[in-house]
Amino acid sequence: MVLEQLHQAIDAVRGSVLLEKSAAAGIIVIASLLAGYFLGKVVGFAIRKAGLIEKVRKWGIKNPESYVENIVKYIVYAIAFVLALNRLGLVQTFISTLSVIIVVVIVIFATVTFSDAIENLGSGILLHSRYYGLKPGAKIKAGDVRGELKSFGWLETKLQTAKGDIVILPNSFLIKHKLEIETKFK
């Protein structure tokens, strides 16, 4: 009875397509680990024998053969990873997921990087619509900063103080500190 159940289990495993694909993917990964390591060493050896190491060291790279070995090794690993995913039928899923991750990272990076510029541009648009007639030469005050308006751009505003210093203020500063147009300094 037990022997018959064992034969049934073995037959079920033999007929399992997923198990066969997983085993093939595993073999690809193991073979790529070995192939990547040895191919990296062979390329490093070839570079040393060709005398390219000394030429590259002149550029300030301390251990160029290890960089080349690692690059070759990781290229082999990447190819094997894609082949293993292909064997499992997951390449399309992986590429789609990777694409979404890359787009999300780019959007987050752009948002963080350009947040000040976006804030200043929005403030500039608001200031230009509120103070349409504001021209260079006008006396303005924002917070503790007073001066003569030199330029009024979309991202920043330049003032010249009574001491003659040029102060560049982001437009968001002018919105946060209530821009006032003065006729005379007190």
Residue 163: what pLDDT?
92
Same-domain status, 81 and 102: no
Q: Are the C-beta atoms of 121 and 154 separated by less than 8 Å?
A: yes
Q: How far apart are CA 23 and CA 29, in angstroms?
A: 10
Same-domain status, 181 and 106: yes
> Structurally, how many domains does the chain consist of?
2
Write the CB contacts of 177 (distance below 8 Å, at least 6 apart in sequence). Answer: 142, 143, 145
Same-domain status, 27 and 68: yes
Same-domain status, 62 and 116: no
Please identify, among 65, 88, 111, the residue that sits at the C-terminal boundary of a domain: 88
- Closest listed residue to residue 175, CA positions, set 132, 143, 134: 143
Q: With b meaning 16 or more CB within 10 Å and e meaning fewer, what string describes 85-98?
A: bebbeeeeeeeeee
CATH of the domain at 108: 2.30.30.60
In tens digits, what is the pLDDT along the chain, a chain of 186 residues?
666 766 666 666 565 677 778 878 888 888 888 998 999 889 888 888 887 777 777 777 777 778 888 899 999 999 988 888 888 888 888 889 999 999 999 999 988 888 888 898 998 898 888 886 788 888 988 888 999 999 988 999 999 998 999 999 999 998 898 888 876 544
Residue 10: what pLDDT?
64
Per-residue pLDDT tens digits for 95-112: 899 999 999 999 999 888
Same-domain status, 114 and 162: yes
Q: Are the C-beta atoms of 66 and 44 separated by less than 8 Å?
A: yes
Is this prediction's pTM over 0.75?
Answer: no
Domain that holds residue 166: 90-186
Same-domain status, 112 and 185: yes
